[in-house]
Structure 1
């Protein structure tokens, strides 16, 4: 029994020690792991965004992105005319591309930064996915609004870039319904990118050649709708020919309010931005995408998230217009605050650099003067000082006039050991330093 007791007394403490030590190690490892993960979480996520500067709803799209980014402390960097010095791709995890400088797409590919397309597919690259409004449905809704006013006669379709898949789907949606009405004749005017002015000229010519025959115009983009509205007003046809847009915006909704346009399509630009942000985060984190469609491109099938669209009619105009206007005003305020903050930061940085340069210059001057005073040529073994004293003695009379002057000159030459000279110079330097500190204290007060 005694041997067993001894054995237990020896084994039990060892087991307890190992258990406690093991727990301590696990705790330490856990803490280290938490610290590591905390550091990883502190790393800032940057999303680069390049929007189409001609899009009337670009601020609404950016608003959708920014609102979600703020909640998650994600930094959004935009490629625009103000970002010439620094590329938004620097440290970016992904590029959301709607338009802008196409060279950024190649740069993104070369740096292996994934691309998420927005509203249309860019050429020459294969994005990880695309966020796009339901263009085919938008085309159908445009025609439905038209059919409330027109059931026969000629209709002009002002198509956007015919090379874009979104434009093709929009046109397909138009024709799908119009084909059911044999009394309606359709004339399509395509507008390749950058040729909107040509479309305007073509519309003017067609209206002149077909007087009183054109009953309605379907304008796929806001740019084309603006031109169509101007042409109709100049020809005094704005009350006779109905105009329907395919891209609602604050200006187009105002045209509806004044009666120069009878319908439009709400493409939900804010939701496009919000969905783009959500997909961007999923791509960064390598999470599965919520795909509800796919688009065929030269590079293959592209996963797509299709955003719902809806008609804007006189019945829901007031609500839609208020929503667009309020969101736009909020986006403009956010942009103004960002610009002011950016200017302030830039000004502070410039002032900081200027002050730093001044301090460097001052230190440089002090160093140079110190070098002149204290530096000795190498190899000095002997230092001589020549002290010349000149004394002038004036002899004055009772009236204070100078009766005579005597000058004496005394010149001495003495040898100074180098060590003594160094000591004297170090004392002078310390005294100058003390004086400088006192001066700084006085200025601080």
Structure 2
């Protein structure tokens, strides 16, 4: 048997084998249809609920929005008004929650939407993660700033709400540093959102009962720092007692510039927003989170991303203040442009609706006008009267043409229009229309006859 014949037999055997086993050439070289992937063009929605009382709320939103603009992502901010909506989390893939409407947490649990906490740890909610500034380090830096100016005397700590996350950590950070100074005694005032007046009065009482002894105040939040600054100004102690805040913002940095506040802590609100967005995207895409710590809660250990903080000092005050101010101005501009765009869109929709209404009204008016024109005499009329009023002015002139006298006469007549005339007037438009139709028919017949004669 020749080599060519044997080669052909081998080829035929291979083909028969492939046919019997159901395989094809695509199976041998790889089926591209099975390995290809399609990318969906749908827009991702991230829901965000922030604490309305946070002085750095706009800086957080700026961090979120700056990244969202670069991707096909819609950020849906939910305020207190979202409680009245039927499904405020509709379409959302993840909820970033710092505060605000607590009912959103229940909705997220019902709709099985992952919740990412931001700076605050909500109770009774299963979280997928948390982004928060280093609370204990914040407390330490506050105390270190104060002891650089005060080595003895009384120090008042204005603590935040005990129910807030980081309350114990900040206080622990304060005490770690202050405990190293035995000549410093500490007095604590615990506050809550509903007891601002009580907190203010408590500070006033301590200052009055200990004249000249209080040397410093540590205020854990901007709200408490502003309250303390107000009390110190009223008691004329703002230049004698050192005030240190724990939540830097534009107003607190302005107080530092004016000398009314000794120090503050930069908690990097913009970076909080950036990291919250990045984690939200990782959660949606089911990617690994860049965890650097964990937070203990009633639900167990929660993966956390701790944002580094730093003290605001006279050396870096100008730089940090400029950064906060420019970022805030940019955020306000973005917010203004968005509101204007929404208003323009709303006005356009209203204008179109109004134009449609006007078009409908014009059509109705035109129809009514045509109806009135076609029947000028109302139905049921039995008698018509015409009132004719004429006024004649007579002028008397001298030889030079100058008017030396005038005389006016008024003549008014009332006539009754006969019924036959009314009938004739009402039928006249119909007859005119009929005559026009007859004339047109006669003209068409004449033209047709002339054309026939021409053909002949």
**1:414-429 alignment runs, 5 A limit:** none
Give TM-score, length-normalised by structure 1.
0.74
Residue 54 of structure 2: aligned partner: 55
Q: 1:63 to 1:11 in 2, by over 3 A?
A: same
Where structure 1 has 5 or more consecutive residues not aligned to the other structure, the ranges are 370-404, 410-445
> C-alpha distance in 1, partners of 2:297/2:34?
50
> C-alpha distance in 1, partners of 2:7/2:135?
85
Residue 175 of structure 1: aligned partner: 175
Kindly indicate whether residue 65 of structure 2 is the aligned counterpart of residue 69 of structure 1: no
> C-alpha distance in 1, partners of 2:86/2:344?
18
Kindly indicate whether residue 140 of structure 2 is the aligned counterpart of residue 140 of structure 1: yes
Q: 1:24 to 1:228 in 2, by over 3 A?
A: same
Q: Any conservation in 1 of the 2:129–2:304 contact (CA below 8 Å)?
A: yes
Residue 249 of structure 2: aligned partner: 249
Residue 128 of structure 1: aligned partner: 128
Give TM-score, length-normalised by structure 2.
0.73
**1:65-104 alignment runs, 5 A limit:** 65-81=64-80, 85=85, 87-104=87-104
Residue 320 of structure 1: aligned partner: 320
Kindly indicate whether residue 215 of structure 2 is the aligned counterpart of residue 215 of structure 1: yes
**1:15-414 alignment runs, 5 A limit:** 26=31, 33-34=36-37, 37-38=38-39, 40=40, 42-81=41-80, 85=85, 87-352=87-352
For residues 345-379 of structure 1, what are the alpha-carbon distances to aligned partners after superposition, in whole Å with 9 as ceiling and x for unaligned?
A: 233334455567788x79x99xxx9xxxxxxxxxx
> C-alpha distance in 2, partners of 1:353/1:87?
27
Residue 406 of structure 2: aligned partner: none
> C-alpha distance in 1, partners of 2:123/2:46?
21
**1:424-435 alignment runs, 5 A limit:** none
Q: Any conservation in 1 of the 2:119–2:165 contact (CA below 8 Å)?
A: no
The CA RMSD measured in Å over matched residues stands at 3.3
For residues 161-217 of structure 1, what are the alpha-carbon distances to aligned partners after superposition, in whole Å with 9 as ceiling and x for unaligned?
A: 112231110011001111111110100101123322321111111111111111000
For residues 383-403 of structure 1, what are the alpha-carbon distances to aligned partners after superposition, in whole Å with 9 as ceiling and x for unaligned?
A: xxxxxxxxxxxxxxxxxxxxx
Q: Secondary structure at the match of 1:251?
A: helix
> C-alpha distance in 1, partners of 2:52/2:334?
18
1:303 shift after superposition: 1.3
Q: 1:28 to 1:108 in 2, by over 3 A?
A: closer
> C-alpha distance in 2, partners of 1:272/1:264?
18
Q: Secondary structure at the match of 1:123?
A: coil
Q: 1:165 to 1:15 in 2, by over 3 A?
A: same
Q: Secondary structure at the match of 2:166?
A: helix
Q: Any conservation in 2 of the 1:222–1:248 contact (CA below 8 Å)?
A: yes
Residue 387 of structure 1: aligned partner: none
Q: Any conservation in 2 of the 1:95–1:113 contact (CA below 8 Å)?
A: yes
Q: Secondary structure at the match of 1:201?
A: helix
